[in-house]
Amino acid sequence: MSRNTKINLLLLLAVAALAVLPLALGLGDHKKEPFTGADGEAETAITELKPDYEPWFSPLYEPPSGEIESGLFSLQAALGAGVLAYYFGLRRGRRQGEQRALEREADSALTGAAGKSAAERD
C-alpha cells in the first residue's frame, strides 16, 4: 500500500468518525433541536443574555421556509466544492503535463544523441 493510499484512508476514517461519533455518543440529546447551526445557537444565547438586543442589519433575502434555506446552503456548499475540485484538478493536470513534456524532451535528447553517435561511427 502506497503512502498516499494510507493517508487517504486515514483521512476518510477521520471524516467518518467526525460524522458518526456525535450521533453514537449522544451529543446534543439534552437539547430541543440537537443539530441546529451555529447561527441558531448564537441567536438563542444572545436573546437569553440581552432580550432587548436589536440586530445591526437585516438579511438581504429571507427564504420563505427552512427547507429552502437549507437547500440554498447545500447549493452554496456544492458550488464551493466544485470550484475547489476544478482548481485542484487543473493543478494536477498541469503538473502531469509538465512532467510528460520533460520526459518527452529527455527521450528525444537521448534518441537524438544515440542517432548522432551512430551516424558519427559510420
Rounded to a whole number of angstroms, the CA Rg of the chain reads 28
Q: Where are the alpha helices (DSSP H) in the chain?
A: 3-25, 38-49, 66-121
Rounded to whole angstroms, the Cα distance separating 38 from 26 reads 18
pLDDT in tens, the chain (122 residues): 899 999 999 999 999 999 898 888 877 777 776 666 777 788 888 989 998 988 888 888 888 988 898 899 999 999 999 999 999 999 999 999 999 999 999 888 888 766 555 555 55
Angular region, 42: left φ>0, alpha ψ -120 to 50, beta rest: alpha
